[in-house]
Structure 1
Amino acid sequence: MVVLALAMFVALSSCAVGCSGNTNSSELKLWRVEDQPLSVQLAAIFKEMESLKCEQTTLQQQHNALTQMHISSHQKRAQKKVAGTHILTYSPNYIEVDNFQSSVEDARRRGDPCFHYTVLDQTWRATNTTSKLKMCDRQVDWKGWYRLFYKGKSLQMPERCVPVNKCGTNSPLWLSGPHPRIRDGIVTRNVCGTWNKRCCAFHSTPIKVKKCPGNYYVYQFTKPTSCYLAYCADINTLVCGRCRRNQSCVSRDKINWRCKTNRISSQKIHFFASYPAQINGKLNRIKYSKVLVNVGRAFDRRTGVFRAPVKGIYQFFFSTQTTIKGLKTDLWLVINNYWVAVSRAHVPRSYSVGSTSTYMTFLRRGASVYVTHNCGNSWATAASMTITFGGSLLLQSK
C-alpha cells in the first residue's frame, strides 16, 4: 500500500514537470520504498501500522455500540407496567447466550417457574405497611408465576396471622401452611385472610408454591374469593435473601428469621442377599429372595434391584459357584442398564470353583443396580450362600 501511494505521488509529479515543457522529464524513474535508505523505509512502515491500528479501533467501537443497542432493545422488551408499578418478567431468553452449553441448559430449564416468573415489587404489600387506599387482588388478572420483592430485595409470604388493615388492604392474605422444600417440587397451599380478630376468617382460593435454588419462592397466585383481600409480603423475611445456597432460612416463631447452614446427615445403606438355588443358562435378572441385611430398605427382594436412595459413592460385591467341568459361568453387575463388572468361574477339572467380584462407583439418586446371569451354571443351596449380592454406601454427597 505504501509503495503504491508513493508511486502515484511520483507519477503525478512527473506529469506536472512534463506539462511545464521540460522534454527531459520523460526519462524519470519510478520512486520505490525499497530503493530508499533504511530510515525512510522504517518511517513508511510505522506510518502504515498506525493507520491499521486506527482502523481496528474504529471497528471495535462500532461493534461495542451495536452490542449495547442489542442489549438495550432486549431490556426494553422485558419491561412491563402493571398498576403503576414496574414489573419485570424474568426469562433466560433475554440474556445473550454465546456458547452451545448455555443453550442446552436454557432448553432444559424451559417451563420451570423458577426461571420464568414475574417480579412483584409493590411496597404496599409489606406486612408493616398501612395505607388509606385499600387494594384488592380480586381485581388483578393473575397469570403464571410470581416472585415477591420489596424495594428490589427478595422476600416471601408470611406463614403467620397478619393484623387487619396491613399489606395495603383490609384483610391480609397469608400462607396457612409451611413453604415447601426443593425436593417437594410444586405444592398446593391454603391461604387465609384475617378479619374480626379471626386469623382465618376468609378461606381464599388455594395457590401453588415452589422453592427454587437460591433460597427464594415462586407463587402461582389466584383471584381471592372477595374484596378487599390482598397477598402479603413478609418484611421479616428480607434476611432470607442473603442466605447462601448451602443454607436455609428458618424461624421458630415465624417472625425472627435467620440463615442456617444445611448439614447432610449421612444415611446408612447396607444390604446383603443370596439366591438359594441353582441357575442354569441365561437369567436376565437374579431375584435374590433371601435377604439377610437391608438397612435403608433400598434393595427390593421381589425384583432383585437395588435403587440408590441418595447421591454418593457405593461399593458392591457379587459371587457365583460352578461345578460342571469345562463350563464357563458369568455373572454381570448391571448399573442403569449398563454391564459394568463380571464375576467369572471356569472349571477345568471335576471340582467346584467360586468367584467373587467387587465394584465401587459414584451413583446419583434413583440409580438402579442388579445382577444378571449371562451363561453357565451357578450352584447354591439354602445354607451355602454361594450366589450372593450386597453393597454399602461409603460416602454421601451433597
Structure 2
Amino acid sequence: MGFEIWTIKTVVVMAVGVVTMLPSCIVESVGNSSSTELKLWDFEVKPSVTQTTLAVVYKEIDRLRREQATIRQQQEALKHMLSSQKKEFPMTIGSTALAPYPLTTQEIESWSSEDTDSMPNFDPCYRYTVLDQTWRATNTSTKHKMCDRNANWKGWYRLFYKGKSLQMPERCPPVDKCGTHAPLWLASSHPRRSDGIVSRRVCGHWKKQCCAFKSTPIKVKKCRGNYYVYQFVKPTSCHLAYCADVNTIVCGRCRRSESCVSRDKISWTCKRKKVIKRQVHFFAAIPTSITGKVNRIKYSSVTVNVGHAFNRKTFTFRAPVKGIYQFFFSTQTTSGGKTDLWLVVNGYWVSVSHTQVTSPSSVGSLRTYMTFLRRGGLVYVTQNCGNSWANAASSTIIFGGSLLSQ
C-alpha cells in the first residue's frame, strides 16, 4: 500500500497556472478605468496585482504542506497497523495470549478521506486488542468454567471466533454457555456509528433470569466496516464471562453500503442501507444593474430554492451533500468594453462568463459549469470588471444550479 505525496514544486506550478488564468481586465482596469471604477477597485481590493498573485501562490503552498503532513500521518498509521500482527503483548486473559488484530484489506479500503483525516491514535476502532477465544462462543459449553473477574482488562477489545469477526449477543444466551455459568450479554442494542462511544448495560443469565446478575456497564463503539469494539471491565462476581455471538459472524462480511440486521437476534443478514436522495435546485437573479468590481453579487430575487442550499443572506450556495453539481450564471452588457463574471468554487475562480461590446448595443452571455463538491463546498459569483444590465422585469443577471448525482 502506498501513497502519492506531491512535491511543493509541482503544486507551485499548478498554483501559478491558476493565477495566470486571471482575466486581463484586472490590469486594464487599473490603467484605463474611469475615476468611479478606480474608486470601487481600491475600496474592494487593497493589494496590488503582484501581491494578489503571490498571496494565491503562498496559500496553495501552505495548503499542500498541510496535505503532505496529513498523508504522511496516514501512511505511518497504516504501516503501524499492518505490522502490528507481528508484535506480541504480554497481556493474557484465561489461557489465551492477546495481540492487536490487523485490519482486513476490505476494512482499510472502506475508509474515506474524512475518516483518515480525523484518525487519532486513541480511536479504539484502530487501537484494540483481539479477543479470539473459542470458549466464549454462544454455542460452547466446557467443564472448566471461566470467570472474567480474574482477567486483567485493559483498553479496548474486538471479538473473534476462529479468526472471524463477530459481536456480543443482544439476546439472553442459555445458562452454562460461553464457557461459564452465567454468560454476559448486551442488555441493550449496539450503537450506530454516528453515536460514537456509548455506555451499555450488561446482564448475566442465571436460574431462568436473564438479568440475574447486573454487571458493571461497558463502553461500546461501532466502527466503519460493520464491527464493534468493547471496553470490557471486571464483572461483579464469578462465574461470569463475556459472550461472543456466533450468529453474528455474518455481520463481518457486510459491505460498507450494508447494515447487519436481525429480527430475532439469532439470524443475522446483511441488508443494503437506504440512501435518502436529496433534491437540490436553486435559481436566483438580481433586479438592478451593477458596475465595476463586485466581490460577491447579491442575488436578492430567489424564485427556486429546493433543499435550501442557497443562502439568501450571504448570496452563496453551500453543498448539502457530496456529489456532482451543475451551475449556470449569466450577464448582459449594454455599453462599450468588456464584462467578466466569474464562478468561484471554494475560493478558486473556475469559470468566466465573458462579454465584450465594441458599439452601443446589448450582448448577453450564459455560462455553465459542472463539478464535484464535498459536503460544505461553497460557491458564489463575482463580477470582476465591466457593466451588467438588469431591471425588475428581466432575468439577465442570474445564478442557479442543481445536484445531478449524489
Q: If the length of structure 2 is used for normalisation, what is the TM-score?
A: 0.64
Contact 2:260 2:268 in 1 (8 A): yes
Confirm whether residue 176 of structure 1 aligns to residue 188 of structure 2: yes
Classify the secondary structure of the residue corresponding to 2:358: coil
1:318 maps to what in 2?
329
Distance 1:295 1:189, change over 3 A: farther
Distance 1:192 1:74 in 2: 30
Residue 270 of structure 1 is aligned with which of 274, 278, 281? 281
Confirm whether residue 133 of structure 1 aligns to residue 130 of structure 2: no
1:117 maps to what in 2?
128
Q: Deviations over 1:221-274 (max 9, x none)?
A: 052573355433222101222334443322223221112345655432222222
Contact 2:262 2:268 in 1 (8 A): yes
Classify the secondary structure of the residue corresponding to 1:88: coil
2:264 maps to what in 1?
253
1:379 maps to what in 2?
389
Q: Deviations over 1:309-353 (max 9, x none)?
A: 333322110122233x22422221122222110112333333443
Q: Percent identity?
A: 55
**Relative contact order, CA 8 A, sep 6+: which one is greater?**
2
Residue 293 of structure 1 is aligned with which of 304, 325, 332? 304
Distance 2:139 2:339 in 1: 74
1:356 maps to what in 2?
366
- Tell me by how many angstroms 1:76 deviates: 5.0
1:211 maps to what in 2?
223
C-alpha RMSD of the superposition: 3.4
Distance 1:199 1:382 in 2: 72
Distance 1:379 1:264, change over 3 A: same
1:389 maps to what in 2?
399
Distance 1:155 1:74, change over 3 A: closer
Alignment: residue pair count: 306
Structure 2 counterpart of 1:290, one-letter code: S
Confirm whether residue 240 of structure 1 aligns to residue 251 of structure 2: yes
Confirm whether residue 346 of structure 1 aligns to residue 356 of structure 2: yes
- Tell me by how many angstroms 1:357 deviates: 0.5
- Tell me by how many angstroms 1:211 deviates: 1.9
Distance 1:291 1:264, change over 3 A: same
- Tell me by how many angstroms 1:119 deviates: 0.9
1:223 maps to what in 2?
233
Q: Deviations over 1:256-305 (max 9, x none)?
A: 11123456554322222223344333333334333322223333223233
Distance 1:75 1:222, change over 3 A: closer
Contact 1:174 1:231 in 2 (8 A): no
Residue 290 of structure 2 is aligned with which of 279, 287, 307? 279
Contact 1:315 1:391 in 2 (8 A): yes
1:330 maps to what in 2?
340
Contact 2:261 2:271 in 1 (8 A): yes
- Tell me by how many angstroms 1:157 deviates: 2.3
Distance 1:379 1:257, change over 3 A: same
Distance 1:362 1:160 in 2: 45
2:44 maps to what in 1?
none
Contact 2:191 2:198 in 1 (8 A): no
Distance 2:403 2:117 in 1: 34
Contact 2:171 2:185 in 1 (8 A): no
Question: Where do 5+ consecutive residues of structure 1 fail to align?
Answer: 1-72, 93-104
Distance 2:308 2:386 in 1: 31
309-318 or 127-136: which moved more?
Answer: 127-136
Confirm whether residue 202 of structure 1 aligns to residue 214 of structure 2: yes
Contact 1:380 1:387 in 2 (8 A): yes
Classify the secondary structure of the residue corresponding to 2:99: strand
Rg larger in structure: 1
Confirm whether residue 157 of structure 1 aligns to residue 161 of structure 2: no
Classify the secondary structure of the residue corresponding to 1:319: strand
Classify the secondary structure of the residue corresponding to 1:240: helix
Contact 2:85 2:101 in 1 (8 A): no
Distance 1:262 1:106, change over 3 A: closer
Question: Where do 5+ consecutive residues of structure 2 fail to align?
Answer: 1-82, 104-114
Contact 1:80 1:89 in 2 (8 A): no
2:98 maps to what in 1?
87
1:306 maps to what in 2?
317
Distance 1:353 1:384, change over 3 A: same
Classify the secondary structure of the residue corresponding to 1:344: strand
Contact 1:149 1:155 in 2 (8 A): yes
Contact 1:195 1:202 in 2 (8 A): no
Contact 1:162 1:174 in 2 (8 A): no
Structure 2 counterpart of 1:135, one-letter code: C
Contact 1:175 1:189 in 2 (8 A): no
Contact 2:165 2:227 in 1 (8 A): yes
